[in-house]
């Protein structure tokens, strides 16, 4: 799905400077930029109607269908690719992705948190150096210092990498690989790869698995 | 029947008396001759003329031209007050801005024009249409100001707001207060 060619654009604010020749609009105060199905609000904005580039700063919020993105600053390119920086938080359905910087592609429904990422899911939360989210598949891939905590399942697990499958496409599960270690109600399971089944509190381990059961 | 000389003389005297009387009774309606120094308390006599135009040229080039139903020139303030005016602003690039409105006041010293009442301006270069309740042309800056609610429409872009300031092309504008730019229709 490619971004729409020339959709209407509406910019409202306290003050707007507009150069008809360059197509650049600069707005200050209570800024609201509506384009296609996306609504961007913030304190200041600059939008180029020709290059379709937008820059919004100051408590920025972007709402598009069931996706909400908040940050200190958001840059939008061709109304499709958004880069949010400064306490960025992307919420979609029941999951939310946070980090100092989030990149989001509307057409691919894909988001990337290149560092200090945190994914919050109905089952708990996951942190990692880097997280990619594939929204339509309800799938997220975490890379580097992965740490998963689920109070609901009293689970605390770590690994080098992890892939989280939400319940939308398959049975909800998390596949952790590389020095995987999971602690659940005192029992410790380690292995090269651990698969944690979210719905029925089951786990399985491959690659020299080792289970240490806590005496009752 | 032949009239005698004395009768003729009587007739002539009578005519003279009638003419004198007519002059005496009518002389009140003629306007008093304008006095050279107007007393300070009195409003100075404004010279009013109708259906005329004022043109400003600079270095032999027309800058603007204004016609109006009536123009009242106030020699004290050097301002001309126009009613139901039409103005043409000749721009540096050869294009022009046609303006109409209900009132305008031209400062013949600064060449600034203050306008009010259903102001509408149409740009000949790109068909842009500007409307506002009040407007001002600042000659020295060659800038245009509008207030009291403005709209500026150019191709598929509509700009609205409380006040505006812009260059003479109305291309680079700043809208202040409830500013809104709509391009390509209303987003669904």
Of A102, A2, A9, the residue nearest A49 (C-alpha): A9
Helix (H, G, I), strand (E, B) or coil at B41: coil
Nearest by CB to A11, which of B126, B177, B181? B181
Q: Which two tokens stand for residue A24?
A: 């650049």
For chain A, how many residues are written?
Answer: 216
For residue B88, the distance in angstroms to the closest alpha carbon of chain A comes to 22
Percent of chain A clearing pLDDT 70 (strictly above): 94
How many beta-carbon contacts under 8 Å exist across A and B? 76
Nearest by CB to A7, which of B128, B178, B187? B187
Whether the per-residue pLDDT at B37 is higher than 60: the answer is no
Bridge partners for A93 per DSSP: none
Task: Determine the Cα–Cα distance for residues A124 and A153; give it in Å rounded to an integer.
Answer: 9
Task: Determine the Cα–Cα distance for residues A198 and A97; give it in Å rounded to an integer.
Answer: 19
Whether the per-residue pLDDT at B40 is higher than 90: the answer is no
Q: Which residue of B has its CA nearest to A16?
A: B175
pLDDT at residue B1, rounded to an integer? 43
Whole-number Cα distances in Å, B166 to A16, A58, A83, A196: 12, 27, 33, 64
pLDDT at residue B184, rounded to an integer? 87
Nearest by CB to A15, which of B172, B174, B182? B174
Task: Determine the Cα–Cα distance for residues A36 and A42; give it in Å rounded to an integer.
Answer: 18
Q: What is the pTM of this model?
A: 0.79
Q: What is the pLDDT of residues B52-93, one digit of tens each?
A: 778 887 787 888 888 999 888 888 888 999 999 999 989 888
Bridge partners for B117 per DSSP: none
Is B182 in Cβ contact with A10 (below 8 Å)? yes
Q: What is the pLDDT of residues A113-169, one digit of tens each?
A: 999 999 998 878 999 999 999 998 889 999 999 999 988 888 899 999 999 988 665
Q: Which of A74-78, A88-92, B17-21, B121-125 has the lowest mean pLDDT?
A: B17-21
Is A36 in Cβ contact with B184 (below 8 Å)? no
Residues of A in contact with B173 (CB under 8 A): 17-18, 20
Q: What is the pLDDT of residues A13-62, one digit of tens each?
A: 999 999 999 999 999 999 999 988 889 999 999 999 999 999 999 999 99
Nearest by CB to A15, which of B172, B175, B187? B175
Q: What is the DSSP string of chain A?
A: -PPPSS--EEEEEEEEEEETTTTEEEEEEEEEEEETTEEEEEEEEEEETTTTEEEEEEEEEEEETTEEEEEEEEEEETTTEEEEEEEEEEEETTEEEEEEEEEEETTTTEEEE-SSEEEEETTEEEEESEEEEETTTTEEEEEEEEEEEETTTTEEEEEEEEEEE-TTTSS-EEEEEEEEEEEETTEEEEEEEEEEETTTTEEEEESS-EEEPPP-
Whether the per-residue pLDDT at A178 is higher than 50: the answer is yes
ipTM of the complex: 0.83
CB atoms within 10 A of CB A65: 9
Q: What is the pLDDT of residues A51-92, one digit of tens each?
A: 999 999 999 999 998 999 999 999 999 889 999 999 999 999
Task: Determine the Cα–Cα distance for residues B75 and B84; give it in Å rounded to an integer.
Answer: 21
Is A7 in Cβ contact with B174 (below 8 Å)? no
For residue A67, the distance in angstroms to the closest alpha carbon of chain B comes to 17
Is A17 in Cβ contact with B172 (below 8 Å)? yes
pLDDT at residue A79, rounded to an integer? 83
Q: Which of residues 23-52 of A touch B (CB under 8 A)?
A: 25, 27, 34-37, 49
Mean pLDDT value across residues A190-216: 82
Whether the per-residue pLDDT at B162 is higher than 90: the answer is yes
pLDDT at residue B30, rounded to an integer? 42
């Amino acid at each position: 799905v490619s971004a729409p060619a020339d959709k209407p654009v509406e910019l409202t604010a306290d003050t707007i400077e507009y150069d008809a020749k360059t197509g650049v609009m600069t707005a200050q105060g209570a800024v609201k930029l509506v384009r296609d199905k996306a609504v961007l609000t913030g304190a200041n904005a600059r939008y180029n109607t020709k290059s379709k580039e937008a820059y919004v700063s100051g408590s920025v919020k972007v709402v598009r269908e069931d996706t909400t993105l908040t940050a200190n600053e958001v840059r939008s390119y061709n109304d499709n690719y958004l880069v949010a920086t400064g306490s960025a938080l992307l919420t979609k359905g029941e999951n939310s992705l946070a980090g100092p910087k989030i990149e989001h592609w509307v057409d691919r429904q894909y988001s990337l948190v290149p560092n200090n990422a945190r994914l919050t899911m109905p089952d708990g939360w996951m942190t990692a150096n880097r997280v990619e989210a594939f929204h339509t598949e309800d799938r997220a891939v975490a890379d580097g210092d992965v740490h998963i905590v689920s109070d609901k399942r009293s689970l605390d697990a770590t690994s080098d990498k992890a892939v989280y499958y939400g319940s939308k496409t398959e049975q909800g599960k998390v596949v952790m690989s590389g020095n995987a270690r999971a602690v659940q109600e005192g029992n410790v399971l380690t292995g090269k790869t651990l698969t944690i089944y979210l719905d029925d509190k089951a786990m399985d381990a491959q690659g020299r698995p080792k289970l240490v059961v806590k005496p009752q | 029947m032949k009239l005698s000389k004395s009768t003729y003389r009587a007739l002539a005297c009578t005519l003279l008396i009638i003419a004198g009387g007519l002059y005496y009774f009518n002389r009140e309606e003629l306007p008093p001759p304008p006095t050279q120094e107007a007393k300070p308390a009195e409003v100075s006599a404004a010279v009013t003329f109708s259906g005329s135009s004022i043109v400003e040229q600079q270095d032999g080039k027309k800058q603007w031209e204004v016609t109006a139903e009536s123009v009242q020139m106030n020699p004290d303030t050097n301002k001309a007050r126009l009613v139901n005016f039409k103005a043409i602003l000749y721009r540096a690039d050869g294009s022009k801005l046609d303006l109409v409105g209900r009132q305008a006041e031209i400062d013949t010293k600064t060449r600034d024009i203050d306008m009010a009442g259903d102001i509408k301006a149409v740009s000949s270069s790109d068909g842009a249409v500007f409307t506002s309740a009040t407007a001002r042309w600042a000659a020295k800056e060659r800038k245009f100001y509008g207030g009291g609610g403005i709209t500026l429409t150019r191709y598929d872009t509509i700009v609205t707001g409380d006040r505006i300031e812009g260059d003479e092309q109305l291309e680079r504008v700043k809208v202040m207060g409830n500013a809104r730019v709509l391009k390509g229709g209303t987003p669904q």
